[in-house]
A and B are shown apart, each in its own frame.
Chain A
Amino acid sequence: DVKVTQSSRYLVKRTGEKVFLECVQDMDHENMFWYRQDPGLGLRLIYFSYDVKMKEKGDIPEGYSVSREKKERFSLILESASTNQTSMYLCASSHRGRATNEKLFFGSGTQLSVL
């Protein structure tokens, strides 16, 4: 089975802290994505990556950065956490290619609370 693993299920941080959210996939997928999920807003794409050391901004990249040093790992970084970044963060991956890219495999999510 495809597995996308997010390092923490729940995380509590303080305003101004630097926060790292880690995601690892074990299916050799080229594409990886970070979304945030908020009630009434659904899923919004933060950043994505189609290859190692490659990154592209999604719809809401402000306040976030990412790192992809290895194919299997995609990290989301909050440089200085703020309370409006309290949210559920979902990582996803998929194979490259028009057809296969359409099936995303998601991790279970990290619920981040910024106090």
Chain B
Amino acid sequence: GDSVTQMEGPVTLSEEAFLTINCTYTATGYPSLFWYVQYPGEGLQLLLKATKADDKGSNKGFEATYRKETTSFHLEKGSVQVSDSAVYFCALSQRGGSQGNLIFGKGTKLSVKP
């Protein structure tokens, strides 16, 4: 079945460092891809999405490019801040599938130190 694999955390960075969180997927067809973020004490919220190959999703300085050839959707940010400390979830949704239920990765915890 469809699945999402993320790099294991936790990831600890200093402020202004470059961030990459790897995400690869296994799916039939052409899924939509997402990154959700969960700040401490809160529920998840959508960070960015891409719906077709070579699309780039971006928000709040974060970017991810839908790479069909490598089945990847890596999350990047050029300069992280302490406020980016959170858990990040990669997810996919099969368009035309069973109402597009999301399949989530296990999450990667990011801690940014001042």
Contact surface of A with B, Cβ cutoff 8 Å: 4, 31, 33, 40-43, 45, 48, 50, 58, 90, 92, 98, 101-109
**Interchain CB contact under 8 A, B106 and A104:** no
**Interchain CB contact under 8 A, A40 and B102:** no
Q: What's the least CB distance linking A15 to chain B, in Å?
A: 27
**Interchain CB contact under 8 A, A108 and B43:** yes
A101 to B94, CA, bound (A): 11
Q: What's the least CB distance linking A56 to chain B, in Å?
A: 8
Please name 18 further chain A to chain B contacts, defined as beta carbons within 8 Å, in addition to the given A108-B42, A109-B42, sorted by A numbering.
Answer: A42-B89, A42-B104, A42-B106, A43-B89, A43-B104, A43-B107, A45-B101, A50-B99, A92-B44, A98-B95, A98-B99, A98-B100, A101-B93, A102-B32, A103-B49, A104-B102, A105-B45, A108-B41
A45 to B91, CA, bound (A): 13
Residues of B within 8 A of A58 (CB): 101
CB closest chain-B residue, reference A50: B99
**Interchain CB contact under 8 A, A106 and B43:** yes
- B96 interface residue, CB < 8 Å from A? yes
> Beta-carbon contacts of B85-114 to A below 8 Å, as 1s and 0s?
000010001011001111011110000000
CB closest chain-B residue, reference A108: B43
- B34 interface residue, CB < 8 Å from A? yes
* Contacting residue for A107 out of B43, B49, B99, B107, CB 8 A: B43
**Interchain CB contact under 8 A, B44 and A101:** no
A110 to B96, CA, bound (A): 31
Indicate the member of B36, B49, B101 with the most A CB atoms within 10 Å: B101
- B46 interface residue, CB < 8 Å from A? yes
A9 to B46, CA, bound (A): 21
Known: A98-B100, A102-B93. A42 touches B105 (CB 8 A): yes
Residues of A within 8 A of B107 (CB): 42-43
Residues of A within 8 A of B44 (CB): 43, 90, 92, 104, 106
Residues of A within 8 A of B41 (CB): 108
Residues of B within 8 A of A43 (CB): 44, 89, 104, 107
